[in-house]
Amino acid sequence: MKKLFLVICLIFPVSTLADGFETKERLRDFSDNLISMFVALEFQKGLDSIKPYWPIPPAEIDSMAAQVKAQWPTLESRFGASVGTEFVKEVGVGQSLTRYYYLQKFENHAIYWQIDAYRPNDLWQINSVSFNNSLESLFE
């Protein structure tokens, strides 16, 4: 029984490790593609693609996809149809944190998508993905 417990303890941390991106260029390419999927309303596909690179349980990512999909009709009813997207800026903190901002334009308003990445070792991992309709932080 002790051996089984030890084996489980050794395997569990490995199973929670995420793959990553070797360079910021690859991270940026992935982020650009991810935003393209979100703009095309392919939330589940986009969030499925992120699973290998985000060290949180896949069930949490699936829950996030369901929440975004449920909220999106309300967002579209208020802001209108999506009319485009653009990369806004990259913000870095030290050598291990970076954040990308993307603007998604609608007929009546805009939102921004924020993708945070963390480099705990040699690889960049996704650390968070979110969107917000309060645009003030883009001006900081």
The predicted-structure confidence for 113-139, as pLDDT tens digits, reads as follows: 999 999 999 999 999 999 999 999 888
Higher pLDDT, 101 or 8: 101
HSE-up of 7 (CA within 13 Å, CB side)? 4
pLDDT category at 140 given cuts 50, 70, 90 is confident
Q: Give the per-residue pLDDT at 17.
A: 54
pTM assigned to the model: 0.84
- Mean pLDDT computed over 77-101: 96
Q: What is the largest CA-CA distance in the chain?
A: 62
Q: Give the per-residue pLDDT at 10.
A: 35
Residues near 96 by Cβ (< 8 Å), separated by ≥ 6? 118, 119, 120
If one counts every other C-beta atom within 10 angstroms of the C-beta of residue 125, the result is 20
CB 38 within 8 A of CB 50: no
Q: What Å distances lie between residue 26 and 20, 42, 117, CA to CA?
A: 9, 21, 12
Fold of the domain built from segment(s) 24-139: Nuclear Transport Factor 2; Chain: A, (3.10.450)
The token pair that represents 137 in the structure block: 């932080």
Q: Give the per-residue pLDDT at 137.
A: 86
pLDDT category at 14 given cuts 50, 70, 90 is very low
Beta strands 82-93 and 125-132 are unpaired
Indicate whether 3 pLDDT > 70: no
The token pair that represents 91 in the structure block: 């913000």
Q: Give the per-residue pLDDT at 30.
A: 98
Among residues 129, 69, 138, 128, which one has the least CA distance to residue 103? Answer: 138
The token pair that represents 138 in the structure block: 């883009």
- Mean pLDDT (the chain) is 88
Domain ranges of the chain: 24-139
- Mean pLDDT computed over 54-82: 94
Burial class from Cβ neighbours inside 10 Å (0-12, 13-18, 19+) for residue 38 reads buried
